[in-house]
Amino acid sequence: MRVLQRTGAWLAAAAALVVAGAGPVQASEGAAAAEAAGSPSTQARIAIEGQFPGSMYDFQAYWFTDVGNWWQSQGGAPFAYYRFPAPGEWYPSPCGDGPDDSAAFYCAGDDTVVFSQALATRIWEGTLDLTGQHGGEAAGDMGVVYVIAHEYAHDVQFEQGLLTAGLPSIATELHADCWAGAYARAKQDAGLLDTTDIPEAIATAARVGTYDYADPQFHGTPEQRVAAFQLGLDSGRPADCAPVLETLPG
């Protein structure tokens, strides 16, 4: 991504959100503002353009907020909260057992997106491949951003009543992929993506697909997940993702 981010810029954005009463920046949630204020090391540049970030937490927090800002520009939902647990970190969750190092989910019980730093690292490196068929494909920063955008989409779905409408999980999961694609299109149109970013997101979508049709939480096949992301990317309009909600398992 063609962006040079510094903690100072992140803190300014975080402060603006706090003044506005928005959600994700809270000391009790381990937010980036509190961390940065006491850690000179976080003054360093968050690496983009294919370099692994010095702080995965800062990277996730920055792009989580960017996704939230985009949804605000779309007239979307209020900001959600976030937790990006460090490797081995655990805490209780209203959505069942606390997160582990493979956690990436939205919990409506506390309006929080959880995305472990360990899983983000595996996605960045391309070592997470649920079917074992996409290991040689692109990997990098945009794969992590895709997952953040997907999970944030579930917050917007909840605010719009889609998660309580009795839809099959595959429908809301692919719909979230489509909305992640629309967000990626906005970043592309703004000139913030390089030539590797979209392939990274597409490859990540394929790597997190499965063929476990019997799973009640089935998220879609690699092909379905890529197609849903591509639909959003091609359109750039969240409303154009509505037909994805009619998707049925199999």
Q: pLDDT by residue for the chain (250 residues), tens digit each?
A: 644 332 333 323 332 222 222 333 322 233 333 333 333 233 223 334 445 667 899 999 999 999 999 999 998 667 899 999 999 988 888 998 777 888 999 999 999 999 999 999 999 988 877 666 666 677 889 999 999 999 999 999 999 999 999 998 999 999 999 999 999 999 999 999 999 999 999 999 999 987 787 777 778 899 999 999 999 999 999 999 999 998 654 4
In angstroms, the CA 246 to CA 157 distance is 15
The pLDDT of residue 218: 77
**Spatial distance between the Cα atoms of 56 and 18, rounded to a whole number of angstroms:** 22
| Residue 181 identity (one-letter amino acid) | G
Residue 1 forms part of a structural domain: no
Residue 196 burial by Cβ neighbours in a 10 Å radius (0-12, 13-18, 19+) = middle
Residues 69 and 119: beta-carbon distance below 8 Å: no
- Report DSSP state, residue 78: P
Count of domains for the chain: 1
- The continuous run of DSSP H or E covering 106 comes out as strand 104-107
**pTM for this entry:** 0.79
- Could you tell me if residue 64 is inside a domain? yes
* Token pair 């730093």 in the structure block, residue: 117
Is residue 2 a part of any domain in this protein? no
Q: From the centroid of its chain, how far is CA 178? A: 12
Alpha helices in the chain (DSSP H): 7-20, 32-37, 56-73, 117-125, 141-159, 169-189, 197-207, 222-235
Rounded-to-integer distance, Cα 250 and Cα 234, Å: 24
What residue numbers bound the domain in which 201 lies?
7-246
Specify the pairing of strand 112-115 against strand 104-107.
Answer: antiparallel
Diameter of the chain measured on Cα atoms:
51
Closest CA to 142 of 92, 205, 72: 205
